[in-house]
Amino acid sequence: MMPVRSIEIAGSTVRVFPSASLACVAAADFITRTIQEATEARGRAVLGLATGHTPLPVYKRLVALHRAGEVSFRDVSTYNLDEYYPIAPTDLQSYRTYMDRHLFDHLDIPPNRTHLFDGTVPEAFVADYAATFDRWIAAEGGLDLQLLGIGRNGHIGFNEPSDVSVHEALRLPSRLMALHPITLADAAADFGDEGLVPRRALTIGVAPILAARSILVLAFGPKKAEILAQALRGPMTAEVPASLLQSARARVTWLVDEAAAARLG
Ligand code: F6R
């Protein structure tokens, strides 16, 4: 088996695994350690979580570790990155359904500590509601860990590419976003047809993501190779939101597979 190698890119450390499944084992171990250390230090752990295809094996592994008695989520609070808008939490395509099905239903986490944006909030209140999420996270003492995937267009959460300055991009709060055409196309399979994908989503902002005490980014497969190279080797720009992670590089751990690392050199 090929060993795990580390690449250093302008101060960012990227760990390249022979397969996505091995990287996911490492990610689950990292999350478990974070939970144990934070609960020992502060009596609780606050996790920022992602949905999508990438973290599914991580959640499977966390469930297995929990069942084996290796980790408890009794003292954990979670905040998910995003939710479609509008959508009902009970909708099969909602991220609430995804999280319950793949993770929360199998853990000892108190249900009132799993936070996802509610995609039924009336439009007149949605901006205030999104800002409230940032205050909740701050009131919990901030995120111990933010888990991230990357969109093919470089989005993190649903912070989509834009032409704002880097200064403004680094300060983007949680808010309602119009989804980018690549995001809509990539979500088409989940909804059965692109026309059925909600056009907007609530997302945790760039600023609260970057404020996490530690950030774990996963990128797997050849479709992520180009954007990963831009995020790590390119300039920081709001056109590639994942490049903004360079501003927090000392707190960011990149776990990728060989296919995604193909253009890192
Ligand atoms: C999901 C999220 C998105 C995904 C990204 C990659 O909560 O915030 O940014 O991480 O779209 O999606 P997958 O993992 O399906 O390739």
In the DSSP assignment, the letter for residue 116 is -
Best of 85, 155, 197 for a ligand 1 pocket test (most atoms within 8 Å of beta carbon) = 155
**How far away, in angstroms, is 41 Cα from ligand 1 center?**
30
Residue 112 lies in a domain: yes
Residue 265 lies in a domain: no
Task: Please tell me the distance from the alpha carbon of residue 101 to that of residue 107, in angstroms, as a whole number.
Answer: 11
Task: Please tell me the distance from the alpha carbon of residue 97 to that of residue 243, in angstroms, as a whole number.
Answer: 30
Residue type, 205: G
What is the per-residue pLDDT across 8-34, written as a single tens digit (0 to 9) for each?
998 899 999 999 999 999 999 999 999
Tokens representing 241?
């939101």
Residue nearest to atom 2 of ligand 1 (CA): 157
Residue 133 lies in a domain: yes
3-state secondary structure of 43: coil
User: Annotated catalytic sites, by residue?
Assistant: 82, 153, 155, 160
Residue 38 lies in a domain: yes
Position of tokens 């996790």?
Answer: 47
Residue 143 lies in a domain: yes
**How far away, in angstroms, is 138 Cα from ligand 1 center?**
24
Tokens representing 22?
């091995």
What is the per-residue pLDDT across 69-78, written as a single tens digit (0 to 9) for each?
999 999 999 9
Could you say which residues of the chain have pLDDT below 70? 1-2
The pLDDT of residue 265: 81
Query: What CATH code is carried by the domain that includes residue 60?
Result: 3.40.50.1360
Residue nearest to atom 12 of ligand 1 (CA): 52
Task: Please tell me the distance from the alpha carbon of residue 121 to that of residue 117, in angstroms, as a whole number.
Answer: 9
Residue 22 lies in a domain: yes
Which residues lie across from 156 on neighbouring strands? 159
Residue nearest to atom 10 of ligand 1 (CA): 149
The pLDDT of residue 3: 74
**How far away, in angstroms, is 162 Cα from ligand 1 center?**
17
Closest atom of ligand 1 relative to the 156 alpha carbon = 9
The pLDDT of residue 181: 98
Contact yes or no for 259/220 (Cβ under 8 A): yes
The pLDDT of residue 239: 98
Residue 218 lies in a domain: yes
Among 123, 148, 206, which Cα is nearest to 27's? 148
* Domain interval for residue 156: 5-257
The count of domains in the chain is: 1
Among 255, 242, 259, which Cα is nearest to 7's? 255
**How far away, in angstroms, is 148 Cα from ligand 1 center?**
7
Closest atom of ligand 1 relative to the 223 alpha carbon = 16
Does the predicted model carry a pTM greater than 0.85?
A: yes
Residue 187 lies in a domain: yes
